[in-house]
Amino acid sequence: MDKEYIAERYKQIQDGICQALEHLDGKASFAEELWTRAGGGGGRTRIIQNGAVIEKGGVNFSAVHGVLPDAVRRAFQVDEQDFFATGVSIVLHPGNPFVPIIHMNIRYFELNDEVRWFGGGIDLTPHYIRKDEATYFHRQLKDICDRYDTSFYPEFKAFADRYFYIKHREETRGIGGIFYDRLTPAKTSLSWEQIFDFSCDLGNGFVPMYAELVNRNRDRQFTEAHKQWQYLRRGRYVEFNLVYDAGTKFGLETNGRIESILMSLPPHAGWAYDFNPEPDSEEAMTLSWLKQGVDWLAQ
103 carries an active-site annotation: yes
Name the residue among 172, 184, 13, 143 with its Cα closest to residue 89: 13
Name the residue among 54, 56, 59 with its Cα closest to residue 16: 59
Q: Residues 197, 75, 237, 15: is their CA dihedral positive or negative? A: negative
**Cα–chain-centroid distance for residue 56?**
14
In the set 103, 127, 138, 268, the catalytic residue is 103
The neighbour count for residue 278, using CB atoms within 10 Å, is 8
Can you tell me the distance from the alpha carbon of 80 to that of 183, in angstroms, rounded to the nearest whole number?
A: 19
Residue 296 half-sphere exposure toward CB, CA atoms < 13 A? 29
Q: Which ranges of the chain have pLDDT less than 70?
A: 80, 299
Can you tell me the distance from the alpha carbon of 122 to that of 179, in angstroms, rounded to the nearest whole number?
A: 7
Number of domains in the chain: 1
pLDDT at position 80 is: 66
Can you tell me the distance from the alpha carbon of 15 to that of 19, in angstroms, rounded to the nearest whole number?
A: 6
Beta-bridge mates of residue 198 = none
pLDDT at position 197 is: 98
CATH number for the domain including 28?
A: 3.40.1500.10
- Please give the residue range of the domain that contains residue 250: 3-298
Encode burial over 59-70: b for 16+ CB neighbours within 10 A, e otherwise: bbbbbbbbebbe
Output helix, strand, coil percentages for the chain, rounded to the nearest 5: 45, 25, 30
Contacts of 4 (CB under 8 A, 6+ apart): none
Can you tell me the distance from the alpha carbon of 41 to that of 58, in angstroms, rounded to the nearest whole number?
A: 19
> CA dist 241 to 109, 113, 165, 170, 200, Å?
21, 31, 11, 15, 24
